[in-house]
């Protein structure tokens, strides 16, 4: 069960830089959080991603009403834009599902099953989002560059998304390598 006071206390996730508890933090140190805190963090992460996806979806819808859409894109490229729009709509559905799931499973209860399934939905939403972004990036590149070679930067962007959204979060070796990098001057000096 999650009480109202407990829910309000987890809304503040970040500590101030001058917080003395921050000095004790060590690279690679892990901390276990309560299920209610983990659920709050997860739902906050979904809320952070959603506005960007919604804005993208809106711009994709408006593009169809632009004269260049019909004048400069082939029918196949217009279909590609529709596919991109569909992928972003799927991402919206996936990213909003944890909130609906939480409301229907029980607002006052949080389970490991909820966290596991909601985390999977959040991560899964990145696949259609990344593909949709790359397809539209290709179409924009095709209009700007006037060449089908715009597929190369789009493929590069897909590689960037794949690395940062799929490979890096799962790679312990990459995380440990970053932990060995000494902190910059701004991180060492108190503010």
pLDDT (0 to 100) of residue 176: 80
Question: pLDDT tens for residues 86-143?
Answer: 999 999 999 888 888 877 776 677 778 888 888 899 889 999 999 999 999 999 999 9
pTM for the model stands at 0.72
Q: In the chain, which ranges are continuous DSSP H helix?
A: 4-9, 20-23, 35-63, 67-72, 75-105, 112-145, 151-162, 168-170, 172-180, 185-188
């Amino acid at each position: 069960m999650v009480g109202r006071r407990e829910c309000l206390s987890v809304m503040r996730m970040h500590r101030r830089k001058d917080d003395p508890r921050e000095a004790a933090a060590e690279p690679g140190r892990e901390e276990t959080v309560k299920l209610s805190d983990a659920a709050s963090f997860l739902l906050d992460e979904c809320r952070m991603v959603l506005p960007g996806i919604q804005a993208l979806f809106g711009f994709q819808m408006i593009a169809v009403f632009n004269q260049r859409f019909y004048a400069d894109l082939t029918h196949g490229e217009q279909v590609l834009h529709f596919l991109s729009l569909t992928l972003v709509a799927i991402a919206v559905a996936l990213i909003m599902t944890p909130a609906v799931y939480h409301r229907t499973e029980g607002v006052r209860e949080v389970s490991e099953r909820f966290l596991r399934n909601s985390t999977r939905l959040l991560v899964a939403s990145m696949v259609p989002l990344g593909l949709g972004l790359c397809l539209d990036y290709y179409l924009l590149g095709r209009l700007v560059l006037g060449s089908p070679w715009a597929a190369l930067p789009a493929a590069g962007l897909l590689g960037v998304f794949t690395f940062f959204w799929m490979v890096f979060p799962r790679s312990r070796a990459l995380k440990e390598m970053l932990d060995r990098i000494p902190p910059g001057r701004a991180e060492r000096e108190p503010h």
